[in-house]
Amino acid sequence: MYKPLMQCVVVMFSVLLVSPVWGQTRPETASGWAWQRVLKQDRFQDAMQMPTAVFVDAEKGQYDVVDSGRNRLLSFNRQGELLHIFNAGKALKTPFDMVKTDAGGIWVVEKGRNSLSSIDLKARKVTPATLYFRGALVYPDRIESASTLLYVLDKATGSIISYSTDLVAKTRFSCSGCRGGFVDFKIHGTKIWALDQQEQTVYRFRLDGTREAVIPLGDRVNFPVSLDIGPSGYIYILDRHARDVAVYDKNGVFKYRFLGKGMSRGQLYYPVEIRFDPWGGLCVVDEGNARVDIFTR
């Protein structure tokens, strides 16, 4: 009686160790990805409240994090050490995303103003601007930059619109078959990759607006909220409800998934964005855990 009972206990304990319910990494996460470092404020009074985006400044070798809950931007070096905190004299109103242009401009999406705002760091000044496309009001959400243009995701329509730095509208990227439009996009090389959440599909465009490909993700994802393209061309999809990352090849063939639910180091609670840095790291912005985790292979 003793030996079979012990075997049963061992089996039950092993199951608990890998169960997502207990906040552990799933069995299929043996992908070579490992936690490397975290971007966060250790002191409670300075802790981030709701990080929503990370921008990677390759030239300066730093990460810029948008802390929406505390209306500020934080800069960290490659080692994860805090460099600067910028709140423009408390002038920022619910910042959500940001970019730095090749010309040195800083642009922040402010949800509290429904604006795309330019930042003057030296003067600590924020200049908000309201966007329009063909006379219709635009609700800025995600933002990217390439060359001399800004690319803005319109929350109202789910379309991506390019603007000059004078905020003159240029090109719209959309999908007529999408029920809700896009929820995230990234510019990789000379292509725009856009995520359709409701249809669980990725669209690829040229920068001139031409649609090149439609890549279905199948039933491997539940609630995709963000995407990026890895160094080898694989498509990485952040699933907010599953609290993990699903990986596909460039043709949409599922390869593997990694990470899982939890609050411990390297686990996700309410992730909102992923972004690759130029040094081989995958940054995961986690609202629920109030941090940005960086993973490497």
- Model confidence band, residue 123 (pLDDT cutoffs 50, 70, 90): confident
- Residue environment code for 234-271, b if the CB has 16+ CB neighbours within 10 A, otherwise e: ebbbbbbebbbbbbbeeebebebbbbbbbeeebbbbbb
What does each C-alpha distance from 10 to 4, 15, 177 come to in angstroms?
A: 10, 9, 51
What does each C-alpha distance from 290 to 41, 91, 123, 219, 271 come to in angstroms?
A: 9, 22, 29, 29, 9
Average predicted confidence (pLDDT) for the chain: 90
What was the pLDDT predicted at 5? 41
Residue 274 pLDDT > 70: yes
Residue 26 pLDDT > 50: no
What does each C-alpha distance from 277 to 121, 207, 221, 242, 285 come to in angstroms?
A: 23, 21, 24, 23, 13
In the chain, what percentage of residues exceed pLDDT 70?
90
Residue 18 pLDDT > 80: no
What does each C-alpha distance from 147 to 82, 100, 144 come to in angstroms?
A: 29, 11, 10
Reported as a single tens digit per residue, the pLDDT across 55-81 is 999 999 999 999 999 999 999 999 999
What was the pLDDT predicted at 282? 99
Interval 138-147 mean pLDDT: 97
Least confident of 22-31, 185-194, 199-208, 281-290: 22-31
What is the set of domains in the chain, with CATH numbers? 24-296 (2.120.10.30)
